[in-house]
Structure formats: structure tokens, C-alpha cells
Amino acid sequence: MNRLLVFLLVVACLFATVSCGYIFVGGAINTQSTSGLVTIVQFTAGSGTGVSITVITFTSNGTASTKTFCGDQRALFPLDRHVRVDFTPGNSCDNVVTVAPN
């Protein structure tokens, strides 16, 4: 009997939510991605600030875009290879989540 009551309560809440016409599912992880041919890889070791970054330039369809990633990420971005990188945006640099061939 208790299971039936819980089931009916969940179904009623679901109908109430759906009937509003708007459902929002959010989270704290904001993952973005970019892809293209790796054309430039530049590493800058942190001197006074202690922050080291890797600057990657991608080209795709004749346009270039540059991303700045935290730490030494040179091994993940071989030159002249098409890759897709998923990352979480940061303040001064982005954090790499995954890198895969594209």
C-alpha cells in the first residue's frame, strides 16, 4: 500500500511539473568543446605567478581560434592532427576534460 502511495505521489508531481510547459534541469558542470586542426602549440611556464598555460591554435574551415589551457598540455595536442577537446571554462585558463581524434 505504501509503495502505491509513493508511486502515485511521484506521478502527480511529474504531471504537475510537465503541465507547466517548462522543465529546467541544471547542473554545476559547464563543459564546452571545440575542434579543429592543431596548428600552433605554445607552452608558457609560470614565472612570477606560478601559473603555467598551454596556448593551442585550431583551424577549421579557413578560420582560426585560440584556446588557453591550464598546465602543460602539449602531449595532448599533436601538431597537424584534427582533435576535439572538451573543457571547463576557467578565469585565466580552461581545464581540459577530454581530447579525442576528430
Structural domain span for residue 51 = 32-101
Distance between CA atoms of residues 38 and 45, nearest Å: 20
pLDDT score for 92: 87
Decide if 25 is inside a domain. no
CB-based contact 53:95 (threshold 8 Å)? no
Decide if 24 is inside a domain. no
pLDDT score for 51: 83
Decide if 44 is inside a domain. yes
Decide if 1 is inside a domain. no
The CATH number of residue 94's host domain is 2.40.50
DSSP summary character for residue 72: -
Decide if 93 is inside a domain. yes
Decide if 65 is inside a domain. yes
pLDDT digits (tens, 9 = 90+) for 39-91: 999 999 877 767 899 999 999 999 999 999 999 999 999 999 999 999 999 98
Decide if 4 is inside a domain. no
Higher-pLDDT residue of 34 and 22 is: 34
Look at the chain and report how many structural domains it folds into: 1
56: left (phi over 0), alpha (psi -120 to 50) or beta: beta
Split at pLDDT 50, 70, 90, the class of 10 is low
Residue-by-residue DSSP string for 8-53 = HHHHHHHHHHHTTT------S---EEEEEEEEEEEEE--SSS---E
